[in-house]
Copies of this chain bind each other. A is one copy, B any other.
C-alpha cells in the first residue's frame, strides 16, 4: 500500500508538474506578436533557438552573439528622405541667416527653393552638393555642440506624412526583434550609412542601443583646445569612414572585430554586410526587409516592378542574390500585422 500510495502520489505530482509546465508554456507570451506566423518568423525563431540552446551543434557562446542592423529603411522609415538629410536641409536657413551671401550660391540656393515648397528641386542636388551641405552644417564645431544641435532638431522636427517626430517612426516588429535577440544574449548593433554621431544622439533612447554599439559613416575630427584650455574634438569636413556597401563589412571588422551571426538590411548598401555575415561558420541569419506595403508605409523596389530610387535602393539583382544565397526576405505587407506602435 505504501508503495502504491507513493506511486499514486508521484504520478499525481508528475501530472501536476506537467500541467504546471504546460500552463507556463501557454502563459509565455510570444516575443514577436507583431509578426505573422509563417516562414519568415519561423526562420528567425529557429535561428535563435539553434544558436542559443546548449548542446546544439550550432550553439554560439554568449560573448560571440552579435547582431547588426542597418537603420534607415530597416529599423525606421527612410522615405521620402533620410532624416539626417532632412536635418541638413533644414539647417540651411540658419546658416544663410548667419552668412547671407550663401543665399545666392548653389547648393544653398537650391535647398532654399526646396524648403519653400519646390520639392522637385531636390533632384538637382548631387552627392557632391550633399557633402558640401554636410560640411557647411555639421563641421567646424565640437562633437558636443553638434550633438546638442541634432537633439534640438530631432525634438522639434516632424515627418511630412505622419506629422510625428522621426524617432517615433520605428517599426514595431523590429523593436520586438531587437528585444527578443537581446533577451537571448545577442548584443545588438546599428550599422548605418548615416552619420554615427547623429544616430548616437538618439539610438539609446529609441532602440536601447548605446553609443558604443552604433557604427556609421564618420567624419574625421581634430583634437584642439578651447579658450578655457580644455580639449575639444572638432568635426572636420573630411570623410573618414563611408559606412555603405563594402564599408559596412570593413567597419564591422574595424569597430566590432567579430563577424555578426545575424544581420538585417534593406538595400544595396547592406549587401556586403549580409554576404559577410552569411559566409561565417555555423548558423548565420541574413535578412532583407522588402518595402511592399504602400498602404501602411511605402512600396518601392523589385516586388513592385518599380525602379530603385536613390533612397532605399533595393534592386532586382539584390533580390536575386538574396534568393541565391539563402537570405530571409521580410515582406512588410505579409509578415507584419502591425507596422508602428502608434497605429493599430
Which of A99-107, A155-163, A169-177, A271-279 is found at the contact surface with chain B? A271-279
A side interface size, CB within 8 A: 34
Given contacts A257-B196, A257-B214, contact A63 B204 (CB under 8 A): yes
With a CB–CB cut-off of 8 A, which chain B residues contact A220? Answer: 250
**Nearest Cβ on chain B to A32's Cβ, whole angstroms:** 26
Considering only residues 271-293 of chain A, those with a C-beta below 8 Å from chain B are 272, 275-276, 279
A15 at the interface (CB under 8 A from B): no
Complex-state Cα separation, A257 to B255, whole angstroms: 12
Complex-state Cα separation, A244 to B16, whole angstroms: 65
With a CB–CB cut-off of 8 A, which chain B residues contact A221? Answer: 250, 253-254
A218 at the interface (CB under 8 A from B): yes
With a CB–CB cut-off of 8 A, which chain B residues contact A275? Answer: 231
Count copies of this chain in the complex.
2
A237 at the interface (CB under 8 A from B): no
Given contacts A63-B204, A221-B250, A249-B223, contact A211 B279 (CB under 8 A): no
With a CB–CB cut-off of 8 A, which chain B residues contact A66? Answer: 212
Given contacts A211-B258, A258-B212, A275-B231, contact A143 B223 (CB under 8 A): no
**Nearest Cβ on chain B to A74's Cβ, whole angstroms:** 20
**1/0 per position for A198-224, CB-CB distance to B under 8 A?**
001000100000111010001011010
With a CB–CB cut-off of 8 A, which chain B residues contact A134? Answer: none
With a CB–CB cut-off of 8 A, which chain B residues contact A246? Answer: 223
Considering only residues 238-273 of chain A, those with a C-beta below 8 Å from chain B are 240-241, 246, 249-250, 253-258, 272
**Nearest Cβ on chain B to A227's Cβ, whole angstroms:** 13
